[in-house]
Amino acid sequence: MTTSAELFDLASRHIPGGVNSPVRAFKGLHRPPVFMERAQGAYLFDVEGKRYVDYVGSWGPMITGHADQDVLAAVRARLDNGLSFGTPTAVETTMAELICEMIPSMEMVRMTSSGTEATMSAIRLARGSTGRDKIVKFEGNYHGHSDSLLVKAGSGALTHGEPSSPGVPAALAEHTVTLSYNDPEGVEACFAEIGEQIACIIVEPVAGNMNCIPPQPGFLETLRRVCDEHGSILIFDEVMTGFRVALGGAQAHYGITPDLTCLGKIVGGGMPVGAFGGKREIMQNISPMGPIYQAGTLSGNPLAMAAGITLLGKLRTPGFHDALSQRVETLCHGLQERADAARVAMMTQSAGGMFGVFFTSQRRVDNFAQATACDPEAFRRFFGAMLDQGVYLAPSAFEAGFMSSAHSAEDIQFTLDAAEKAFSLM
């Protein structure tokens, strides 16, 4: 039997770091990554045959569980027709109509092949529509790996951004202003100084890439107001939150309407898909209607559209998201009880079907500085103990967890029993 460690060694010969996305490498966890063979429902199965209760869900899209039979059947029904045509297909229109119905702020939508493409294209659209260059993002929010977004904050809120990765030109980074998440006063100060230069704000309405950090009351409202006052475009990156925090995304949950919305792989039922859309008058600026160029050979892939249409249709079942949120609440409440009993400094936060576990004595975590102040060694020990017992959590202290409708009460109890043991070892 081939082990995960052996496969990692083999992969490292030809794949940088042995993985095709950095978080998979288990860097800092003092163990090789686990190579998975298959998945079903709430479970992953590794190459050695071990089963794990999974709270990653392919980073969000497996909201009805892995290998959903309805989704797979939709893909199989189209498979014999071909994999990709590079031409328009009717199923793309069906998907567009469904998205625009479920998220009313999206009057028009353009499909892409990834969330990174969606955010990159939305920012280009915002810049082209406003004739401005500067964008505002928030520390700890991740919007893909395009150059404009791999930028860290300068020494002050209004200083030039600095590249956070080699290969990002400093001249490009200067157009990105990075502010603190959940700091409306900082946003207001920024716009008071340079609001007329800002094309857009892009934000995760619930931050999911510094663990799970919901917005504080008034934060999203401030973003909407300053954009209105200064003629800037508000972009919600709902790659994680779309159809997961609520049926209409975080914007429906919090009652804030963005100008543009970016969606990710949940739109394709887990296949490589993204989308961006919003107000008709903005979207009409995209080629071939307008001058702002955006394209993709595989955008609107018919297999991915079939999978996504089927999955999104299932999410409209009455009570689906209420039940998902209740599962998350049960899990988080149980984790907190067991951590408190073991005198482990830990707290949880959640939003809809997303949750986060923070090893800290803080009562809340609201921003990147607080998230990075949590105990990474405690997370490493907890993650390892849970993995050994058959619970697969996100392999980073800065990633949110995801619940699915396939997780049973027994799966959650199994997780809580594993956590009780893990906490006792800490």
Which of 193, 147, 129, 23 is CA-nearest to residue 137?
A: 147
Please confirm, yes or no, whether 147 is among the known catalytic residues. Answer: no
- Averaged pLDDT, 53-81: 96
For 136-162, the DSSP string reads EEETT----S-GGGSEE--SSTTSPPE
Q: Does the structure show a pLDDT above 80 at 162?
A: no
The helix-helix angle for 409-424 and 376-388 (nearest 10°) equals 130
pLDDT digits (tens, 9 = 90+) for 225-247: 999 999 999 999 999 999 999 99
CB-count exposure of residue 288 (10 Å: 0-12, 13-18, 19+): exposed
Whether 157 contacts 189, CB under 8 Å = yes
- Active-site residue identified among 52, 55, 265, 392: 265
Please report, rounded to a whole number, the percentage of residues in the chain having pLDDT higher than 90: 88
What confidence tier does 158 reach under pLDDT thresholds 50, 70, 90? very low
Residue 271 above 60 pLDDT? yes
Active site residue 254: no
- The sign of the dihedral angle between the CA atoms of 101, 106, 108, 114 is negative
The pLDDT of 64-89, averaged and rounded, is: 96
Q: In the structure, what pLDDT confidence band is assigned to residue 33 with cuts at 50, 70 and 90?
A: very high
The pLDDT value recorded for residue 154 is: 47
CA distance 175 to 162: 10
User: Is pLDDT of 157 > 50?
Assistant: no
User: Is residue 425 within 8 Å of 340, Cβ to Cβ?
Assistant: no
Question: Under a CB-based contact definition with an 8 Å cutoff, are residues 212 and 354 in contact?
Answer: yes
Position 153 scores a pLDDT of 54
Q: Is-contact 11 18, C-beta < 8 A?
A: yes
User: Which range is least confidently modeled, 4-8, 198-202, 334-338?
Assistant: 4-8
Report whether 275 contacts 118 (CB < 8 A).
yes
Which two three-digit tokens encode residue 302?
């018919």
The number of C-alpha atoms within 13 Å of 267 and in the hemisphere containing its C-beta is 41
Q: Tell me whether residue 265 is one of the annotated catalytic residues.
A: yes
Burial 44-83 (b: 16+ CB within 10 A, else e): bbbbeebebbbbbbbbbbbbbbbebeebeebbeebeeeee
Per-residue pLDDT tens for 285-303? 999 999 999 999 999 999 9
Cα 235 to the chain's mean position, in Å? 14
pLDDT at 172: 75
Report which residue type is found at 406: A
pLDDT score for 398: 92
Task: For residues 135 and 174, give the distance between their C-alpha atoms in angstroms, rounded to a whole number.
Answer: 10
Average pLDDT, rounded, for the chain: 94
**Does the pLDDT at position 159 exceed 50?**
no
Which position has the token pair 């625009």? Answer: 100
**Would you give the DSSP letter of residue 213?**
B
Cα–Cα distances in angstroms (integers) from residue 329 to residues 229, 349, 351, 383, 403, in the given order: 38, 9, 9, 20, 10
The pair of three-digit structure tokens given for residue 107, joined into one six-digit string: 């009057």
pLDDT digits (tens, 9 = 90+) for 307-366: 999 999 999 999 999 999 999 999 999 999 999 999 999 999 999 999 999 999 999 999
Backbone angles phi, psi at 240, to 5 degrees: -90, -40
> Based on C-alpha coordinates, what's the Rg of the chain?
21
User: Can you read off the two tokens belonging to residue 233?
Assistant: 């475009």
Mean pLDDT of 43-55: 97
Q: Point out the catalytic residue in the list 54, 68, 183, 237.
A: 237
Flag whether pLDDT at 405 surpasses 90: yes
Q: Give the amino acid at 302.
A: P
Instruction: Provide the percentage of residues in the chain whose pLDDT is more than 70.
Output: 97
Q: Is the dihedral of CA 248, 287, 128, 294 positive or negative?
A: positive
Domains in the chain with CATH codes: 4-67+318-424 (3.90.1150.10), 69-315 (3.40.640.10)
| Catalytic residue from among 43, 52, 55, 142 | 142
Query: 395 pLDDT band (50/70/90 cuts)?
Result: very high
What's residue 55's pLDDT? 98
pTM confidence score: 0.95
391 and 233 in contact (C-beta within 8 Å)? Answer: no
Q: Are 312 and 243 in contact (CB under 8 A)?
A: yes
- Check: CB of residue 139 under 8 Å from CB of residue 367: yes
User: Would you say residue 30 has pLDDT above 90?
Assistant: no
Alpha carbon 232 to chain centroid distance?
A: 24
Query: What span, in angstroms and rounded, lies between the C-alpha atoms of 116 and 19?
Result: 18
Secondary structure (3-state) at 343 = coil
